[in-house]
Amino acid sequence: MEPVYRGLGRCVCCFWLAVAFDIVGLAVLLIGVFVNVFFYDLLIYAGAIVIFLSLIWWVFWYSGNIEVPPAELEDDVGLLKKDKGVLGGIGGAVRRLSSRVSSGIRSSLRRNGGPASNRTGRAPTSVPQAEQVAVAMATMTPQEDIPHTTDSPPAGGDTGMPHTTQTSPI
């Protein structure tokens, strides 16, 4: 036997949280409006935000109390009536087509490798492997006796920095 819910319905906790958020938000908002403090704007905005967040609890409470008779749920959750058969009529054909398409998409996404057209018998395309590239890195040390100019590089193009080589995969 199903329990009988009176008054506030099934989601009493969500109802009281929504009411609490509304009361706290309204109190903070009214304090910001009527009390002479230098941070009144913060209180007004905070109260409005708390009242807005109470909408989440109201939606939870409302949607938790929606009652749908089991007769209306039969088609939505797969509870088919015995006299209709397993899959009958146009609805059955649509369900079969939908399940075939969705299972095909699901299986093609689960496979590792190429696109879904590999089922036609073509060889899978090879994925290029990552190459290693040499990157030259240099450290700079401050030199106080050489004047810094941006017009021309030093003679010979050598800056006096040691060169090191490090490889990293791309």
Helix axes 40-64, 12-34, angle to 10 degrees: 160
Give the per-residue pLDDT at 35: 95
Residue 25, in any domain of the structure? yes
CA dist 92 to 28, 70, 71, 104, Å?
A: 56, 20, 18, 18
Residue 126, in any domain of the structure? no
Residue 50, in any domain of the structure? yes
Mean pLDDT of 136-144: 73
pLDDT in tens, 68-99: 877 777 766 665 655 555 446 777 778 888 88
Residue 32, in any domain of the structure? yes
In the structure, what pLDDT confidence band is assigned to residue 167 with cuts at 50, 70 and 90? low
- How far does the chain reach from its first CA to its final CA, in angstroms? 65
**Tokens at 68, concatenated:** 């749908």
Residue 130, in any domain of the structure? no
**What is this structure's pTM?**
0.45
Residue 46, in any domain of the structure? yes
Rg (CA), the chain: 35
Provide the residue type at 25 as one letter: G
Total number of domains in the chain: 1
Q: Which residues pair with 138 in a beta bridge?
A: 163
Residue 127, in any domain of the structure? no
Range of the domain at 27: 12-66
- Residue 135 in 3-state DSSP? strand
Say how far apart CA 61 and CA 13 lie, in whole Å: 8
Residue 157, in any domain of the structure? no
